[in-house]
Chain A
Amino acid sequence: MKRLFPFLKPYRLQLTIGPFFKLSEAVLEILIPTFMAMLIDNGVNVGDRSYVIKMGIFMLIVATCGVIFALICQYSASIASQGFGTDVRRAMFKKIGTLSFSQIDKFGTPSLINRITGDVNQLQGAVAMLIRLVIRAPFLCVGGLVMAMSIDLKLSIIFMIVIPLFVLVLFLVMFKAVPLYKSVQTKLDRLTLVLRENLSGVRVIRAFAGTGRERRRFDDKNDEYARVAIRVGRIAALTNPLTTIIMNLAAIAVIYFGGLRVYSGNLTQGEVIAFINYITQILNAMIVLANLVVLYTKAYASALRVSEVLAEEPDIKYGDKEFNEQSNAAVEFRNVSLTYGGSGAPAIENINLTVHRGETLGIIGGTGSGKTTLVSLIPRFYDATEGEVLLGGVNIKEISESELRKNVAIVQQRANLFSGTIADNLRMAKADASEGEMRSAADTAQASEFVNRLGKGFDTHVSQSGNNLSGGQKQRLTIARALMKNSPILILDDSASALDYATDASLRRAIKENTESKTVIIVSQRVNSVKNSDRIVVMDDGVIVGVGTHSELIKTCGIYREICVSQEQYGGDGDE
């Protein structure tokens, strides 16, 4: 929470002016029924026409001042709340950019998106209400009470009965309805789940002639949802009639007891009318207060979720050393282990490995064997929990961020492209890259052929996450993008899995030709993709079980042999 208050600071002016003017408006509004009572008692009942007109003009001025004050307040509120929201969003976005991946994983991407839009929206609303209502509503309540009491203290005893009753009703309804609202949401989620399953599984459902059953499943969930929604509605429907009837009973009480007070000469007729006005005013203000309580409970939860992001300290710190390009060991792992947050078993354990400069290193192993984890330590997507990683002989934690980014290029298994043109995507690495540079990177990545076939070549538009391209096309573009960086260390993390064997083979050939002096690390599940590497690392269950060339490993490493056998026996190696 503390983290959010500084964001309000630039809006100190609005935060003072807004409530001040709103309060002034409320004062004027409270006075109007009293002026009306005066108009009736001193003007109408006495028969003084000029007093009635004078009072009317006076009230007109008061009301006009009131609306001007209110507009000033609303304007301040809109500036402060939206400005606050914009600042918070900017700060959150910036903060997310500095977090490590284990931290981003901890929150989860959808949750971060919700926080930056939905939660900030809630807070914006809360700030606006802070200015517009938080002072006004209680003031109208208390002010109305004070005015009523000043008219007739004894008659005000009615409030002592009505107000607690009113609060009790509001409280009970909220207490009953709020948990039910949650279950409405759950039922809706279940309904949506069935719907989503039916859309994604339409082929299977039809293949098994399951449409009838799915319809029944949907109708069940549909009915459950309607039932709960109706139940909530029934309870929520009580609020309005109950509060109104309390208000109206109070008005009847005022008429009766007010009559007694008028009879004994303690009250005038006009004052009875004013008194009824105040009752309505007070109880209306209390309904606003009740809504404010709901709004602020929601806003409080949002505030916590936003603060959580802002309070997160990036757990990766960079040094200021440079990468030594001349070092013989491009990458070195010394006793490295990594355990992901929240899981007990280490993902990789006690890794000792040196990747030499200019070497092509293959890494092979089954799913979950730790290949990807191992290479994601090199761009510092994650930090080792034990041991150390050296880049060009320097501890990776001491290297500056820009040096690290400049010298390590990685292509991930999932091909991530951004909306924009193909050129925009390739220029991510180098904003001013020439067409020629892009062309040669695309050539190496075997992407030129299909890029040329697309209507606009490099200017072809890529839709969000590259949905208008096939998996293989996306992978080739991400490889081209990484090649654009021309980094001395290139990591291909299973990034050719969607390519057919022919394209995969020519890709590997081209990379080999174009990256002579580079250190290349190829992660794959296919023997073919790694067998021509200078050395191959075999991983299983988080540890290295063999290092050597293809022919060495065939002789010495049981697991490698098993992988080879399984892939050869069941085909798959078109290279032979």
Chain B
Amino acid sequence: MNKGVLKRLYRYIAGNKKYLYFVIISAVLANIFMLAAPYISGRAIDFIRGEGDVNFSMVIKISSVLLGVYVLNALFTWGMTVFTNHLSNRTIERMRSDAFKRLSRLPLSYFDNHSHGDIISRLTNDTDAVSDGLLQGITQLFAGLVTVVGSLAVMFSLDYKIALCVVAVTVLCVFVSRFIAVNSGKMFRMQAAVTGELNGYVSEIVGNMKVVKAFGYEERSGEAFGKINSRLYDCGQKAQFYSSLVNPTTRYINNLAYIGVGVLGGLAAIAGGLSVGIISSFLIYATQFARPINDMTSILTQLQSATAAAARIFALTDERPETDDSSRPELKLDGGEVVFDGVNFSYDKNRELIKNLNITAKKGQRVAIVGPTGAGKTTIVNLLMNFYGADKGAIIVDGQDIDSVTRDSLRKSFGMVLQDTWLFSGTVRENIAYGKADATDAEIEAAARAAEAHGFIKRLPQGYDTMITEDGGNLSSGQKQLLTIARAMLTDPEVLILDEATSNVDTMTERRIQRAFLKMMEGRTSFIIAHRLSTIREADLILVMDNGAIVEQGTHDELLAKNGFYAKLYNS
């Protein structure tokens, strides 16, 4: 277990100091009362000696003390659980919140290079592991410590010989449970890995069933599945068996202690040193003493997985954020002239992509970015929006270096409509007003009209108040595109970044989108990832990209005259 991680975890937990103290105090008290009870009940039994020989006044006196002890034990046990629960949930809430806060300041490259599933897992599964493992584990560890020390002390004070016998048996128990835990842990890890493999295989095959069928691949895939499945059986069976050994063997060892105490205690009682009531108490302490020790291995594994989970969360919280730009001035737009001045850029230091790029897009000009699929046209978008920073050179908007102004002000002044239409779950209205939270209904409707989206929105069940499900599942891809256009229109940006690709959209909607785009571009400096010849032909500047780099630039006629890559593309 990593010390640094534990220290940081403690800082999170200690943020709720009041609850932490409550937890500790309740845990200690609950266990002290639990320990006291068998001793007291043993004393009571000692006053019940036989026919006609029962001291009722003492039995009643001791019983009422016992009642009080039991009630207090229950009360503190309850308190301990409630406080732990509160503490753990609030602690991981803050861990999640901090991780998310950091996430919102990380550079785009982080999101492009990390699996989203993994990030989500850190903020959900891992935080749960911390809450389950660490905090429950700590209370158990703490309660266990009190129980072990306490019952050991009581047993030794009652009879050290019998106590030694109990300790010996318990040590045996530790070895056995350690052996089981190591073996079953290994098998469980293997089982989890094979289950993951099986999951992946099933999802691949079932998800692509049409292909499987079309190629008559069922039998071969059945064989492959069978192989994974029988491996899962092998480790699953072993994991199940090993883990199910814990209860019977612990029971057995407890029985050994129980019998040992009975026999030794009995012999001692005959010799005259021990009362039967004390034997009875001893029997109970023997079991209580063994329990936390039996649980020790599982608590340790829990703690280990909790710290591992915490380390993953902290790794996210420690990612280097974008530089702080709050002291920079805001971008002041004046027409929207964009200049790339000797820009070098690459995602991967070993593979040079853009070298000494010089572009001047004057106020109101259109720049078309063209190239085959996968040529890296979005790289220009990444640079313009300062999602990624240039390695060398500068990008200058209306005389201001984009690295000298706040990122938010830069991004807000650009209107961006990408092919990947992102909408969040909320109403249509909220989605359109995403860039301008204080927009009036009239403004929203005007933007929707301009984007030719008003018509279909009105036909939705609740019009502008229709809820959009996650990822806009209840809208067609064309409708989603129109909404993102309306969203960009509402902010009235001076510079536009558009992606013309509208795959899977029917021709009527495509025309509508195209009209909306044209309307938007009027009088604004625009960068267009172009797919249409008309857009390309009319562009003031064409950037031709291939394999991630800009290979040619110029106007349509210039590029044709050059008879290079563009001409080949155009004439194909």
Contact assessment for A272 and B48 in the assembled complex, using a CB-CB cutoff below 8 Å: yes
What CA separation (Å) do A79 and B376 show in the bound complex? 55
Contact assessment for B48 and A269 in the assembled complex, using a CB-CB cutoff below 8 Å: yes
Q: What are 15 pairs between A and B in contact, CB < 8 Å? A: A40-B262, A70-B248, A71-B245, A81-B240, A207-B411, A209-B409, A222-B97, A269-B276, A366-B507, A405-B214, A406-B216, A481-B215, A502-B569, A571-B533, A572-B533
Instruction: Please indicate the chain B residues that have their CB under 8 angstroms from the CB of A210 in the complex.
Output: 434-435
Question: Which parts of A65-100 form the interface with B (CB within 8 Å)?
Answer: 66-67, 70-71, 74-75, 77-79, 81-83, 85-86, 89-90, 93-94, 96-97
Nearest chain B CB to A162 CB, angstrom units: 14
- With A218-B97, A248-B37 known as contacts, the answer to whether A193 contacts B217 (CB < 8 A) is no
From B2-10, B70-78, B302-310, the one touching the partner chain is: B70-78
Nearest chain A CB to B507 CB, angstrom units: 5
Residue interface bits A6-33, CB-to-B below 8 A is 1, else 0: 0000000000000000000100010010
Any chain B CB within 8 A of the CB of A447? no
From A42-50, A335-343, A546-554, the one touching the partner chain is: A42-50
Contact assessment for B230 and A86 in the assembled complex, using a CB-CB cutoff below 8 Å: yes
Any chain B CB within 8 A of the CB of A146? no
Of A101, A245, A478, A503, chain B has the most CB atoms within 10 Å of the CB of A245
Contact assessment for A470 and B373 in the assembled complex, using a CB-CB cutoff below 8 Å: yes
Question: Which parts of A253-292 form the interface with B (CB within 8 Å)?
Answer: 255-256, 258-260, 262-265, 268-270, 272-273, 276
Give B203's nearest chain A residue, CB to CB.
A113
Question: Which parts of A422-473 form the interface with B (CB within 8 Å)?
Answer: 428-429, 431, 464-465, 470-473
Instruction: Please indicate the chain B residues that have their CB under 8 angstroms from the CB of A263 in the complex.
Output: 48, 51-54, 56
Instruction: Please indicate the chain B residues that have their CB under 8 angstroms from the CB of A563 in the complex.
Output: 507
Any chain A CB within 8 A of the CB of B50? yes
Total A-B pairs in contact (CB under 8 Å)? 428
Contact assessment for B263 and A272 in the assembled complex, using a CB-CB cutoff below 8 Å: no
Any chain A CB within 8 A of the CB of B461? no
Question: Which parts of B158-207 form the interface with A (CB within 8 Å)?
Answer: 195, 198-200, 202-204, 206-207
Any chain A CB within 8 A of the CB of B270? yes
Instruction: Please indicate the chain A residues that have their CB under 8 angstroms from the CB of B571 in the complex.
Output: 574
Contact assessment for A67 and B249 in the assembled complex, using a CB-CB cutoff below 8 Å: yes
Interface size on B, residues (CB 8 A): 152
Contact assessment for B54 and A262 in the assembled complex, using a CB-CB cutoff below 8 Å: yes
Give A262's nearest chain B residue, CB to CB.
B48
Nearest chain A CB to B165 CB, angstrom units: 12
Give B42's nearest chain A residue, CB to CB.
A273
- With A203-B418, A255-B45, A470-B373 known as contacts, the answer to whether A566 contacts B510 (CB < 8 A) is yes
From A194-202, A351-359, A386-394, the one touching the partner chain is: A194-202
What CA separation (Å) do A440 and B297 show in the bound complex? 61
Instruction: Please indicate the chain B residues that have their CB under 8 angstroms from the CB of A56 in the complex.
Output: 259, 262-263, 266
List 4 additional A-B contacts (Cβ < 8 Å) besides A226-B93, A255-B59. Answer: A36-B258, A44-B270, A196-B470, A203-B418
What CA separation (Å) do A74 and B407 show in the bound complex? 63
Contact assessment for A230 and B507 in the assembled complex, using a CB-CB cutoff below 8 Å: no
What CA separation (Å) do A63 and B52 show in the bound complex? 36
- With A60-B256, A208-B411, A497-B503 known as contacts, the answer to whether A75 contacts B241 (CB < 8 A) is yes
Nearest chain B CB to A288 CB, angstrom units: 11
Contact assessment for A201 and B373 in the assembled complex, using a CB-CB cutoff below 8 Å: no
Contact assessment for B237 and A82 in the assembled complex, using a CB-CB cutoff below 8 Å: yes
- With A366-B506, A367-B506 known as contacts, the answer to whether A252 contacts B63 (CB < 8 A) is yes
What CA separation (Å) do A113 and B197 show in the bound complex? 12
Contact assessment for B233 and A265 in the assembled complex, using a CB-CB cutoff below 8 Å: no
Instruction: Please indicate the chain A residues that have their CB under 8 angstroms from the CB of B18 in the complex.
Output: none
- With A74-B244, A113-B199, A251-B41 known as contacts, the answer to whether A245 contacts B70 (CB < 8 A) is yes
Any chain A CB within 8 A of the CB of B353? no
Any chain B CB within 8 A of the CB of A215? yes
Instruction: Please indicate the chain B residues that have their CB under 8 angstroms from the CB of A500 in the complex.
Output: 372-373, 569
Contact assessment for B119 and A225 in the assembled complex, using a CB-CB cutoff below 8 Å: no
Contact assessment for B93 and A244 in the assembled complex, using a CB-CB cutoff below 8 Å: no
Instruction: Please indicate the chain A residues that have their CB under 8 angstroms from the CB of B280 in the complex.
Output: 273, 276
Question: Which parts of B221-268 form the interface with A (CB within 8 Å)?
Answer: 221-222, 225-226, 229-230, 232-233, 236-238, 240-241, 244-245, 247-249, 251-252, 255-256, 258-259, 262-263, 265-267
Give B216's nearest chain A residue, CB to CB.
A405
Nearest chain A CB to B567 CB, angstrom units: 11
- With A241-B74, A464-B200 known as contacts, the answer to whether A90 contacts B506 (CB < 8 A) is no
Contact assessment for A502 and B568 in the assembled complex, using a CB-CB cutoff below 8 Å: yes
Any chain A CB within 8 A of the CB of B456? no
Instruction: Please indicate the chain A residues that have their CB under 8 angstroms from the CB of B418 in the complex.
Output: 203-204
- With A74-B241, A206-B407, A562-B507 known as contacts, the answer to whether A237 contacts B215 (CB < 8 A) is no
Contact assessment for B241 and A78 in the assembled complex, using a CB-CB cutoff below 8 Å: yes
What CA separation (Å) do A223 and B236 show in the bound complex? 38
Any chain B CB within 8 A of the CB of A229? yes
What CA separation (Å) do A408 and B222 show in the bound complex? 22
- With A210-B434, A233-B89 known as contacts, the answer to whether A128 contacts B503 (CB < 8 A) is no
Any chain A CB within 8 A of the CB of B474? no
Contact assessment for A566 and B209 in the assembled complex, using a CB-CB cutoff below 8 Å: no
Contact assessment for B54 and A240 in the assembled complex, using a CB-CB cutoff below 8 Å: no
- With A273-B280, A500-B373 known as contacts, the answer to whether A367 contacts B108 (CB < 8 A) is no
Instruction: Please indicate the chain B residues that have their CB under 8 angstroms from the CB of A196 in the complex.
Output: 116, 120, 470
Residue interface bits A112-125, CB-to-B below 8 A is 1, else 0: 11001100010010
Any chain B CB within 8 A of the CB of A327? no
Instruction: Please indicate the chain A residues that have their CB under 8 angstroms from the CB of B85 in the complex.
Output: 229-230, 233-234, 237
Contact assessment for B248 and A255 in the assembled complex, using a CB-CB cutoff below 8 Å: no
Contact assessment for B204 and A419 in the assembled complex, using a CB-CB cutoff below 8 Å: yes
Contact assessment for B385 and A207 in the assembled complex, using a CB-CB cutoff below 8 Å: yes
Q: From the candidates B124, B259, B387, B507, name the one contacting A192 in the complex (CB within 8 A).
A: B124
Any chain A CB within 8 A of the CB of B147? no
What CA separation (Å) do A45 and B217 show in the bound complex? 78
Any chain A CB within 8 A of the CB of B534? yes
Give A413's nearest chain B residue, CB to CB.
B504
Contact assessment for A259 and B48 in the assembled complex, using a CB-CB cutoff below 8 Å: yes
Question: Which parts of B1-21 form the interface with A (CB within 8 Å)?
Answer: none
Any chain A CB within 8 A of the CB of B153? no
What CA separation (Å) do A472 and B536 show in the bound complex? 22
What CA separation (Å) do A428 and B508 show in the bound complex? 39
- With A419-B204, A502-B572 known as contacts, the answer to whether A572 contacts B531 (CB < 8 A) is yes
Any chain B CB within 8 A of the CB of A178? no
Contact assessment for A485 and B215 in the assembled complex, using a CB-CB cutoff below 8 Å: yes
Any chain B CB within 8 A of the CB of A181? no
Q: From the candidates A29, A214, A571, name the one contacting B535 in the complex (CB within 8 A).
A: A571
Residue interface bits A560-575, CB-to-B below 8 A is 1, else 0: 0011001101111111
Instruction: Please indicate the chain A residues that have their CB under 8 angstroms from the CB of B510 in the complex.
Output: 566, 570
From B99-107, B357-365, B444-452, B520-528, the one touching the partner chain is: B99-107
Any chain B CB within 8 A of the CB of A219? yes
Instruction: Please indicate the chain B residues that have their CB under 8 angstroms from the CB of A251 in the complex.
Output: 41
Instruction: Please indicate the chain B residues that have their CB under 8 angstroms from the CB of A112 in the complex.
Output: 202, 206
Contact assessment for B470 and A193 in the assembled complex, using a CB-CB cutoff below 8 Å: yes
Nearest chain A CB to B537 CB, angstrom units: 7
Give A419's nearest chain B residue, CB to CB.
B204
Contact assessment for A225 and B93 in the assembled complex, using a CB-CB cutoff below 8 Å: yes
Contact assessment for B206 and A226 in the assembled complex, using a CB-CB cutoff below 8 Å: no
- With A74-B241, A255-B45, A465-B204 known as contacts, the answer to whether A237 contacts B78 (CB < 8 A) is yes
Give A190's nearest chain B residue, CB to CB.
B425
Q: From the candidates A215, A241, A567, name the one contacting B75 in the complex (CB within 8 A).
A: A241
Contact assessment for A36 and B252 in the assembled complex, using a CB-CB cutoff below 8 Å: no
Any chain B CB within 8 A of the CB of A53? yes
Contact assessment for A245 and B71 in the assembled complex, using a CB-CB cutoff below 8 Å: yes
What CA separation (Å) do A88 and B13 show in the bound complex? 45
Contact assessment for A240 and B233 in the assembled complex, using a CB-CB cutoff below 8 Å: no
Contact assessment for B207 and A566 in the assembled complex, using a CB-CB cutoff below 8 Å: no
Give A268's nearest chain B residue, CB to CB.
B50
Contact assessment for A270 and B276 in the assembled complex, using a CB-CB cutoff below 8 Å: yes
Nearest chain A CB to B218 CB, angstrom units: 4
Contact assessment for B533 and A104 in the assembled complex, using a CB-CB cutoff below 8 Å: no
Instruction: Please indicate the chain B residues that have their CB under 8 angstroms from the CB of A83 in the complex.
Output: 233, 237
Any chain B CB within 8 A of the CB of A416? yes
